[in-house]
Copies of this chain bind each other. A is one copy, B any other.
């Protein structure tokens, strides 16, 4: 199909297994940037409370409302038909653009752990990244939350592509673990401590570089750059691994 026509292959390159590392490295910038932005503001817990900013948002919290609205409009332009995109809400409108044909290396699957990502974000990650209290910057904080939640979801669910790639590289090993539904064995098989350390080191180095730029500003407080490394170590890498295992258990 000619490029430029509706229905053409979208993101063929991005979704190829060769390209996984590039996508993940680019997402590090996105996440790092989102963390530095969000950490400027206080936790502002009221923006996560259903009805917290008023009765006018249909009972949703401010962040739920903005994320929901973003997903509604993106669903209409077929964002969630792409195998690397996962919505937080499940009552989204159908795409109004013709379906794109994706070069999709994944097996059909139903994995979506956004409920867990949401709970970890609101309950653990925001308190970890931001100072307690309310500075009134509700709108800016909530817009940043939407940005970060979408980036975290994409990064964590990329585990599907990572798992597919590992599985194709060592079919015998994985086929036997999958056939016996051995979740612990699969978790061990997908774990590469050296790669994890390299990711954490790279993220820490980038955060230090970018924080230095920001610290050059008088009166500007920035997130401790170790925060991004810890975000990867405590939440992103473990949940990414969970996605890998869930995906492989479904891959029969």
Contact = CB atoms under 8 A, between A and B. Distances in A.
A3 B77 contact: no
Interface in A120-146: 133-140, 142-143
B4 A136 contact: yes
Range of interface residues on chain A? 35 or more
Interface string A11-48: 11110001101100110011001001100100000100
A29 B33 contact: yes
Contacts of A97: 53-54, 56
A77 B73 contact: no
A137 B96 contact: no
A171 interface: no
A220 interface: yes
A219 B22 contact: yes
A40 B33 CA distance: 18
A174 B235 CA distance: 54
B96 A77 contact: no
Given A12-B136, A74-B139, A78-B139, 15 more contacts: A3-B134, A3-B135, A4-B136, A6-B53, A10-B136, A10-B137, A19-B219, A25-B214, A29-B210, A54-B98, A56-B76, A57-B96, A70-B70, A73-B73, A74-B143
19 contacts: A3-B136, A9-B136, A11-B136, A13-B135, A19-B219, A25-B217, A26-B40, A29-B213, A30-B33, A30-B37, A53-B77, A56-B76, A57-B96, A66-B73, A69-B69, A69-B72, A70-B70, A82-B139, A210-B210
